Amino acid sequence: MLLGTKLGVGALTLAILTTGLWFYLTRQVALPNDRSVFVLAWMCSAFLGILALIKGTSLVGGIPSALAIIVSSFLTFTIYISPQKVDVVSVIKVGDIIPKFQALDDREIIFESKSLNGHLVLIKFFRAHW
Amino acid sequence: MRRLEELRAEFDKRKVKVITISTDLPNEIADERHLHGLQATMLSDRDLKVTDAFGLRNTAFHSGPPAGGAEALPVPATLLLDSAGKVLWIDLSKDYQRRSDPSVVLNAMQTYFD
């Protein structure tokens, strides 16, 4: 096996292990505040992938290198873009009465916020299922 | 969502209505519901009208799919309301990859609902 191919397999292995742990912690709602260990691991994976391609791989052996580079780069990018920001003037605050609203539920039935009157309520906003 | 359902007994004990709001279309919510099993009224807000009414549109980098999705996304947030619709507690995510553990929500319910 060419040295580059071995490096590529190592790069992909590191990417898979790191990404697996990442998604496990995500599912557990337990990602740490400091995610630099993940960034470091993914950068090492991407670096190994690039090094593998420079050293030279077989045609099939290049696939793990490319996958390692793509996966590691993409997930590092998602950390970079993950901070959230709202308009501090318009955002709802403690003590405010919620605005009236209506929206469709998963059966396409209109839900009216007035139906919440008289109940303790938890509202959770989330981005989407993906 | 799956972790939030861990608080089902706590919601039931306090008769808390649980509402979720996301940019998913109604059929997408119906299709994905089995993945987490959350017993909640799950609402679709693809046009962000509700999100904007609450001022929860994310104004930082839009990290949704490049096409076919909503034009922006809400900042992940959890609110507790009293029976008059007044906001008692808000948990806003400063980072969409970091969510509050359900224990944070439970502590808030114990503080504000009990």
Q: Min CA distance, A52 vs chain B (Å)?
A: 31
Check A126 against B1: CB less than 8 A apart: yes
Compute φ and ψ for B41, nearest 5 degrees: -80, 115
The pLDDT value recorded for residue A128 is 76
Report residue B68's pLDDT band, with 50, 70 and 90 as the boundaries. Answer: low
Query: What's the rounded Cα separation, in Å, for the pair A118 and A29?
Result: 31
Query: What's the rounded Cα separation, in Å, for the pair A105 and A98?
Result: 19
Q: Nearest Cβ partner of A122 from B22, B50, B80? A: B80
User: Using a CB-CB distance cutoff of 8 angstroms, which residues of chain A are in contact with residue B96?
Assistant: 82, 84, 127
Residue B32: strand, helix, or coil? helix
pLDDT of B64 over the 90 cut: no
Q: Is residue A49 one of the residues assigned to a domain?
A: yes
Which residues have CB under 8 Å from B103's CB, separation 6+?
Answer: none
The pLDDT value recorded for residue B60 is 84
Query: pLDDT, tens digit, for every residue of A40-84?
Result: 999 999 999 999 999 888 877 789 999 999 999 999 998 888 888
Q: Is residue A101 one of the residues assigned to a domain?
A: no
Q: A34 to chain B: nearest residue by CA?
A: B98
- Judge whether A39 is closer than 8 Å to chain B, CB to CB: no
Q: Is residue A85 one of the residues assigned to a domain?
A: no
Check A78 against B74: CB less than 8 A apart: no
Which residues have CB under 8 Å from A87's CB, separation 6+?
Answer: B55, B57, B59
Report residue B67's pLDDT band, with 50, 70 and 90 as the boundaries. Answer: low
Q: Is residue A31 one of the residues assigned to a domain?
A: yes
Q: Min CA distance, A88 vs chain B (Å)?
A: 8
B3 membership: H or E segment, kind and range = none
Query: What's the rounded Cα separation, in Å, for the pair B75 and A15?
Result: 29
Check A31 against B98: CB less than 8 A apart: yes
Q: What is the mean pLDDT of residues A95-111?
A: 96
CATH of the domain at B85: 3.40.30.10
A interface mutation test: which of B27, B29, B52 has the most A CBs within 10 A?
B29
Q: What is chain A's mean pLDDT, rounded?
A: 91
Q: What is the mean pLDDT of residues A89-98?
A: 95
ipTM of the complex: 0.93
Cβ-contact B91, A92 below 8 angstroms: no
Q: Is residue A57 one of the residues assigned to a domain?
A: yes
Residue B47: strand, helix, or coil? coil
Higher pLDDT, B95 or B40: B40
The pLDDT value recorded for residue B72 is 85
Domain limits for position A31: 3-80
Q: Is residue A126 one of the residues assigned to a domain?
A: no
Query: pLDDT, tens digit, for every residue of B3-40?
Result: 888 899 999 999 999 999 999 999 999 888 877 777 89
Query: In 10 A of CB A14, how many CB atoms?
Result: 20
Number of structural domains (chain A) is 1
The pLDDT value recorded for residue B59 is 86
The pLDDT value recorded for residue A17 is 97
Number of structural domains (chain B) is 1
Domain limits for position B72: 4-112
Q: Is residue A111 one of the residues assigned to a domain?
A: no
Helices A36-55 and A3-27, axial angle in degrees (round to 10): 160
Higher pLDDT, B65 or A66: A66
Q: What does the block give as tokens for B21?
A: 């709001």
Query: What's the rounded Cα separation, in Å, for the pair A57 and B60?
Result: 40
Check A101 against B49: CB less than 8 A apart: yes
Query: What's the rounded Cα separation, in Å, for the pair A75 and A19?
Result: 8
User: Using a CB-CB distance cutoff of 8 angstroms, which residues of chain A are in contact with residue B33?
Assistant: 106
